Amino acid sequence: MTLSDDGINTIERWQLPFFESEPVHEPVDTTRVEDEAKTKGFRMGHWQGMEAGREEVEKLVCDIESLLDQMKRPFAGLDQTVTRELTAIAMTAARHIVRRELILDSEVVCDLFAEAVATLSSVEGSIEVFVNPSDRAKLVEYSSALAEPERYRFIDDTSLSPGGCRIKTPTSFVDATVEQRMDAVFSSLEASVEAQLDD
């Protein structure tokens, strides 16, 4: 108990004395703390920079791969275009060469005529043979050696190229024109080229 200034007794509560010593704070070495903070910040920045760099490199690699792929595609299409164009040029040149050779020497008309006649089955009646006027004399002479030459009637047709013919009977028709033969060969060639381009 204690007495207050006015003479009244006041009661104070007793407290247990504190036996542990208060923690002693060591002086902080600010340069060490700054160095540790700089090192930690540098490591964090380095890691973040490496991650950002890795992502940027991956994006750049994707962009380059895409660009290379796009550069390949036009050439792939160009290869197909060039192949088709060269095939068309070769076929056009072949047509011109064949026509020129047939104008100079159309002896092949006799062979085509013989093949066309051989495809006919037994025929009743006359056989009409449409030929280019320049081939008529050769075929008339050739047919005279065949059995029943009187059955063949030769008709001039200026729409036919030299070297070819069309044969018509009451029951069948054979197209032995040079154009038809070339078209068959060229169709096969074009199909072969397209098949190779698709592979």
pLDDT value of residue 14:
75
Residue 130's pLDDT is 92
Backbone angles phi, psi at 19, to 5 degrees: -95, -20
Q: Which of 106, 120, 123 is nearest to 164 (CA)?
A: 106
What residues does 152 pair with on adjacent strands? 127
CA atoms in the 13 A half-sphere facing the CB of 173: 3
Q: Do 167 and 117 touch, CB atoms closer than 8 A?
A: yes
Question: Which residue shows structure tokens 């208060």?
Answer: 22
Range list of H helices, 105-135? 108-119
Q: Domains plus CATH for the chain? A: 106-198 (3.30.2320)
Q: What is the pLDDT of residues 137-178, one digit of tens each?
A: 888 888 877 777 788 888 999 998 888 889 888 888 888 887
Q: How far apart are CA 11 and CA 86, in angstroms?
A: 120
Say what the pTM is. 0.51
Per-residue pLDDT tens digits for 5-24:
666 666 777 777 666 666 66
Query: Do residues 51 and 59 lie in contact, with contact meaning Cβ atoms separated by under 8 Å?
Result: no
**Residue 116: which of 178, 190, 67 has the closest Cα?**
178
Tell me, what's the pLDDT at 157?
Answer: 92
Given this model, what pLDDT does residue 43 score? Answer: 84
